[in-house]
Amino acid sequence: MAEFEPVLSRNWNVTDGHTLKVYESRGGYQAARKALTTLDPDKVVGIVKDSELRGRGGAGFPCGLKWSFLPKDRKETFMCVNGDESEPATFNNRILIEKDPHQFIEGILIACFATKANTAYVYLRVEYFHAYKVLEAAVAEARAAGHLGKNIYGSGFDLDIWLHRGAGAYICGEETGLIESLEGKRGWPRIKPPFPAIEGAFRKPTVVNNVETLCCVPHIIERGAEWFKSIGTPKSYGPKLYCVSGHVNKQVCVELPLGITCRELIDKHAGGVWKNRKAKAAVPGGISMGLLSAEELDTPLDFESLRKPGCLGLGTAAVTVMDEHTPIIDYLYNCARFFAHESCGQCTPCREGTGWLYKMLKRIKAGGGRLEDLDIMANMANNMGIMPGTTICGLADGAAWPIKNGVAKFRAELEEYIKTHQDPAYGATTLQAAIAKGAYAVPHNGLPPVINSVPTAGALRSPHSA
Amino acid sequence: MATIIINGQEHTLPEGEKLNAIQMAKRVGVDIPYYCWHPALSVVANCRMCEIEVGSKDPKTGEIKMIPKLVPGCQTPAKDLTVIVTDSAKVKEHQRMIMEFLLINHPLDCPVCDQAGECGLQDYSYEYGQSNHRFIEERIVNPRKDVSSAIQLNQDRCIMCTRCVRFTREISQTGELQVMNRGNHAEIDVFPGHPVDNPLAGNVVDLCPVGALLDKDFLHKQRAWFLSKHDSVCTRCSTGCNISAEENRGQLWRFKPRFNPQVNDYWICDEGRYSYKAANDPALLSAMYLRQNNDLQPAPIDQALKTVGETLGRIAAAGDITAGVLSPFLTVEEAYLMASYIKGLNAANILALGPVPTQGHDRTFTPDQVKGRNGDTSFIVPRPFTIHAEKCPNRKGVEAILEHFQGEVITWGDFEGRAALGDFKAAYVASDAIDPWIDNERAASLRSKVEYLVVQDTTVTPLAERADVVLAGATFAEKAGCYVNANGRLQYSEAALPPRDGSLPDLDVFAILLHRAGGPVRSQEILAELAEAVPAFRAVAGGRVPEFGVSITEPARVGVAPFPFNDPWNESRVQVGAKNA
Ligand SMILES: Cc1cc2nc3c(=O)[nH]c(=O)nc-3n(C[C@H](O)[C@H](O)[C@H](O)COP(=O)(O)O)c2cc1C
Ligand code: SF4
Ligand code: SF4
């Protein structure tokens, strides 16, 4: 494989790289010009399809395929760009917009041309004030220079870009939550079908793409699908911006080919684990994706390989490293708190489950844990989310995965924690004691006792029930 | 025609019917539990109670492919060759999980909750829940608050199904209710100064599957299981909404809507909802009165009726004219008997229509299919709901009878005019109106123009005070019979209360005056006679009225009536209907 050449980040260290002048002087908007003046929309969709570009927003859905789901006879199409970037420890979209807004705009332009969208909404996370300012200025520049507006490059294609700032809810990053929020409603994800491609923003066919996904598009048009596929691992092609944070020496956002291993990323690009410690675990791609244990750090960070260690997927490729001093209970507690706070409250399993998990972990952390809590948590985590089919959106899966991975991979540590951290302030309730004695061991209704997995007799550990 | 396989059995669904899995299963007697779904509201699939296993059968190979995960039944269309499994261990386990989740923050205060006995949580806990409780954390205690002067919200009981929110967005389109906050702190609320006070507000209480939204008028007054439910029709306006009139110990306690796709769907307006109170009024007429020594004295029922019969008979024999006034509050059976009686005395006697009360303008709520929330509305047939300005139940029915007997309808105004000219020797005014309908001045002028005045009513009106005979008739709650609504639909309304002491149902009054043999009459008998005698009423031959009524003047607003679907926790209300069918 030839030496990897970063493209997404190529203007980041150039003086005034965010200005139109510098961007154009470095070959900017040539891909858009090529697409608009020499290709037709279906051709562009075809190229992106051939490149097998997969969405960078979390789900990894093939971008070209998504575009081709739009109904052929549509009259109006909207493009929604997902810049809500709320997954903890993820910050590549912010840097992409702040450092090279025109690359982003060029990506939007080509994507809108391909999908015949004349209006694009950029949904920006509200905290990204600087990014908003930069993008606003860049859009104005691009419009003045004829890269946006009416009849762009004489091709007859019109495009307007609107910036929309969120109000600080994680759930508005979910594509239909985003659309609802954009429409001025409460950010509650919609049921699918209908998918946004059929009925999205304002009930019109809509494409939702992540910022980074669109930033890849100009390079694909410029250099071709074959070039794109020469980077990365099978089924995960192209460059990717990895964010590394947590207990490392250097917290970075770095562009690398997809499929780099987590260990290489930490050791080579983030300066290794801090304070000369060892890594205990790492979050592979935003906390929704679960947890890699120290032994699993050689897993390639791409769309396919992360399933093997039981993670949900690549997510946003935001790696958070935990050193050996980090208690797993703290990690679980923080994850649970985040999701309990961010669950939109629509689906019963997510609304109640995230809240319950949070309270349970809080109790365990404070010294009121029982061993059977681990089973209850695992049982709950296995049954909430779109994977088991019990919720509308993937937030619940994200809430479940840290618990699932954490309990499976660090059960011994958690049990040890529970046993050694018993606070007499948490006495057993009568019911707890009865359950511990097995008084409810026989299901009354003849159904398999799975949900209500009855704790084994004596599982309850409390100073009062010895 | 579509073939749908439910729990291994093949069932067919006729062409043109669009059902989801819940409805399809119900149709063949299989229950899929649900909370948030409602047949008239958009599908949001948020409660997750109705999850089932879904698949499809290959038409050629017969091979069945199942979707590996659970799917909400509300969101699953019953298409040809859909395979539905509702009774697998996986589904049952899921139902138990949802019940556990829904109850972790629920106060379980059934003993003091109005919804107990007709509560989705209670019923499903029993059927699909579990007796173990694994939740030992502290519960969230949400506040109790008023969302209007008539409706209270016990937020801690709410299960966030958002039915109430969707109703105010999609049906009343007033949007007062919102979800506030996130996650398990989410609450239903209103904005300050914008209570849920739209004319349809009370429906949110009926929609609420649990005891969260409560009608303050009914609060803590009765337990649901003590109420006997009667399939009735609201008489407050000419829409004729189908209601369940609910009674205990000789008193009405509330009206609840009953489904009728041709009339009111699942709704009633607040004015109708609270109109039950008139039937409990302690001032209702409790005896018949005869004028003696220029004063009205209570008289035994038979004596009062005998006096009326003899006097009107004498007037007729003398060749003098009696005018009968039939109010639009009479049932068609009562109107038919009264008209037969008056015309039978003297063919030259005159029949007039009583005052038709009106108020404001008709107000129509057309369900919003687009602007509503994010839910799927594609399957809903939008049926508008109208509150009519005409505040009586049966103008059309009475008019049809008047036209049959004398070829024209004489209005109350015309009647007053002719009475003022001294055209009538006697007048027999049957009213039963809910509101005061005549003032002193008009009552006095009418009185002065007729020699003999019989007033049949439920309250003491200025006209009754001046009458020679006052007959205590039946309130809307005490009479059984049919009304013809503004769209020409004839509907049967069952009596919810027995006749008050001292009164006699109007139908019996006329039967006695007509010397009908055979004791108390049944409205069905009369309706059968009416159907034979008056061509306009042919549709109810034999006195049989179909479940959703029958159109006698205009075509039905819905061709094929949609599959009747009622929330299972409310089903007792429906079974009453089945009993009468
Ligand atoms: C709870 C939740 C939060 C999400 N947040 C984001 C986000 O902040 N940014 C983003 O690009 N995608 C986010 N997604 C993924 C989007 O739903 C969607 O898949 C993505 O924007 C599609 O773009 P892509 O195909 O270009 O990746 C989120 C998904 C879920 C379930
Ligand atoms: S899964 Fe959670 S966050 Fe997603 S729609 Fe349901 S309740 Fe909201
Ligand atoms: S108040 Fe009742 S109807 Fe409204 S969301 Fe809560 S449970 Fe549902």
* Every domain of chain A and the residues it spans: 20-230, 233-323, 328-420, 430-466
B245 touches B229 (CB < 8 A): yes
B137·A359 Cβ contact <8 A: yes
* pLDDT (0 to 100) of residue A165: 96
Q: What is the pLDDT of residues B178-219, one digit of tens each?
A: 999 999 999 999 999 999 999 999 999 999 999 999 999 999
Q: Which atom of ligand 3 is nearest to the CA of B36?
A: 8
CA distance B32 to B70: 13
CATH topology match: A233-323 vs A328-420? no
Give contacts of B 110-169 with A, CB under 8 A. 130-138, 140, 159-160, 162
Q: What is the pLDDT of residue B530?
A: 96
Instruction: Find the farthest-apart pair of alpha carbons in chain B and give their distance in angstroms, rounded.
Output: 94
* B301 Cβ under 8 Å from any chain A Cβ: no
Could you say which ligand is closest to the alpha carbon of residue A178?
A: 1
DSSP helix/strand/coil, B406: helix
- Residue nearest atom 4 of ligand 2, based on CA coordinates: A393
A278 contacts A323 by C-beta, under 8 angstroms: yes
pLDDT of residue A462: 36
For residue A396, the chain B residue with the least C-alpha distance is B183
Give dist(CA B468, CA B455) in Å, integer: 8
The C-alpha of A357 sits at a distance from chain B's nearest C-alpha, in angstroms, of: 10
> What percentage of chain B has pLDDT greater than the value 90?
85
State whether B70 and A348 contact (CB < 8 Å).
Answer: no
At residue B333, the pLDDT reads: 97
Which of A348, A363, A447 lies at the smallest CB-CB distance from B101? A348
Determine which residue's CA is closest to atom 3 belonging to ligand 3: B208
Ligand 1 pocket check for A55: Cβ under 6 Å: yes
Single out the residue of B309, B256, B355, B229 nearest to residue B513, CA to CA.
B309
Residue B36: pLDDT band by 50, 70, 90 thresholds?
Answer: very high
Verify whether the Cβ–Cβ distance A349 to B98 is below 8 Å: yes
Q: What is the pLDDT along chain A (466 residues), one digit of tens a residue?
A: 468 999 999 999 999 999 999 999 999 999 999 999 999 999 999 999 999 999 999 999 999 999 999 999 999 999 999 999 999 999 999 999 999 999 999 999 999 999 999 999 999 999 999 999 999 999 999 999 999 999 999 999 999 999 999 999 999 999 999 999 999 999 999 998 889 999 999 989 999 999 999 999 999 999 999 999 999 999 999 999 999 999 999 999 999 999 999 999 999 999 999 999 999 999 999 999 999 999 999 999 999 999 999 999 999 999 999 999 999 999 999 999 999 999 999 999 999 999 999 999 999 998 888 888 999 999 999 999 999 999 999 999 999 999 999 999 999 999 999 988 887 777 655 555 555 565 554 444 444 333 333 343 333 333 333 3
Nearest alpha carbon to residue B237 among B412, B481, B461, B486: B486
Please count the residues of chain B. 581
**Ligand 3 atom closest to B204 (CA):** 3
pLDDT for residue B137: 87
Given a cut of 60, whether residue B39 has pLDDT beyond it is: yes
- Coil vs helix vs strand at B573: helix
Q: Say what the pLDDT of residue B415 is.
A: 97
What is the CATH number that goes with domain A233-323? 3.10.20.600
Query: Ligand 3 centroid vs A197 CA: distance in angstroms?
Result: 32
CA atoms within 13 A on the CB side of B388: 22
| Whole-number percent of chain B with pLDDT over 70 | 95
**CATH level 3 topology of B288-551:** Rossmann fold (3.40.50)
The overall average pLDDT reported for chain B is 92
Q: What three-state secondary structure class fits B239?
A: coil
- Rg of chain B (C-alpha set): 27
Helix axes B332-345, B523-533, angle to 10 degrees: 60
Residue A204, judged by CB atoms within 10 A of its CB (0-12, 13-18, 19+), counts as: middle
Region class of B512: left (phi > 0), else alpha (psi between -120 and 50), else beta: alpha
Rounded Cα gap, residues B476 and B275, in angstroms: 10
* Ligand 2 nearest-atom number relative to CA A354: 2
What chain A residue is nearest to B76 in terms of C-alpha separation?
A193
**B182 with A191: Cβ contact below 8 A:** no
Look at the domain A20-230 and name its fold: Rossmann fold (3.40.50)
* Statement: the pTM of the whole predicted model exceeds 0.90: yes
Ligand 2 within 6 A of CB of A351: yes
Cα torsion A258, A101, A36, A120: sign: positive
pLDDT at B198: 97
Closest CA to A83 of A116, A120, A52, A47: A120
For residue A80, give the H/E element and its range: strand A78-83
Residues of A in contact with B136 (CB under 8 A): 429, 431-432
Rounded Cα–Cα distance for residues A183 and B208 (Å)? 27
B2-99 domain in CATH 2.40.50.140?
A: no
Parallel, antiparallel or unpaired: strands B363-365 and A279-283:
unpaired
Position A372 scores a pLDDT of 86
Instruction: Measure the CA–CA gap between B427 and B354, rounded to whole angstroms.
Output: 12
Q: What pLDDT is stored for residue B132 in this prediction?
A: 74
Task: State the amino acid at position A277 in one-letter form.
Answer: R
3-state helix, strand, coil in chain B (%, to 5): 30, 20, 50
pLDDT digit string (tens) for B101-125? 999 999 999 999 999 999 999 999 9
The CATH number, out of the four listed (3.90.550.10, 3.30.70.20, 3.40.50.300, 3.20.20.140), of the domain defined by the range B138-280: 3.30.70.20
Q: Which residue has a Cα nearest atom 6 of ligand 3?
A: B158
Distance of CA B462 to the CA centre of its chain: 31
For residue B101, what are the β-bridge partners? none
Residues of chain B in contact with residue A461, where contact means CB-CB under 8 angstroms, are none
Q: Do A191 and B97 touch (CB under 8 A)?
A: no
Residue-wise pLDDT for B67-99, tens only, equals 999 999 999 999 999 999 999 999 999 999 999
CATH topology of domain A328-420: de novo design (two linked rop proteins) (1.20.1440)
Model confidence at B294: pLDDT above 60: yes
- Nearest chain B residue to A429 by CA: give it: B136
Choose from B35, B44, B46, B70 for mutation: most chain A CBs within 10 A. B46
Given an 8 Å threshold on Cβ–Cβ distance, is B182 in contact with A345?
yes
Please write the tens of the pLDDT for every residue from A212-250: 999 999 999 999 999 999 999 999 999 999 999 999 999
The answer to whether the CB of A311 falls within 8 A of the CB of A113 is no
Residue with CA nearest ligand 2 atom 8: A344
For residue A297, the tally of other CB atoms under 10 A from its CB is: 21
What's residue B224's pLDDT? 93
